[in-house]
Amino acid sequence: MKDIEQLAKEMRERALERPEPWVIYEKIYEPSEEQKKLYFHAGRWAGGARDYNARMAYEQLRNKGEF
């Protein structure tokens, strides 16, 4: 087994060799403005808001199986 300091040195050198950053994640889906409003109101209902818009949004998402 290699010495821990040698291993750390090799890891630093290998990281510095790579010129561009790695892709951590890739955006696959962007919700529409209407969906963003729906999620916002449903989240308000789940968080304790008790108004009509929040309740309807929560029920709509629950019926779709998203909540």
The pTM for the full model equals 0.51
Number of domains in the chain: 1
What pLDDT score was predicted for residue 2? 66
Query: What pLDDT, on a 0 to 100 scale, did the predictor assign at position 26?
Result: 76
pLDDT for res 3: 86
> Which domain, by its residues, includes 24?
4-64
Q: What is the pLDDT of residues 17-57, one digit of tens each?
A: 867 766 777 778 888 999 999 999 999 999 999 899 999 99
SS (H, E, C) the chain: CCCHHHHHHHHHHHHHHCCCCCCCCCCCCCCCHHHHHHHHHHHHHHCCCCCHHHHHHHHHHHHHCCC
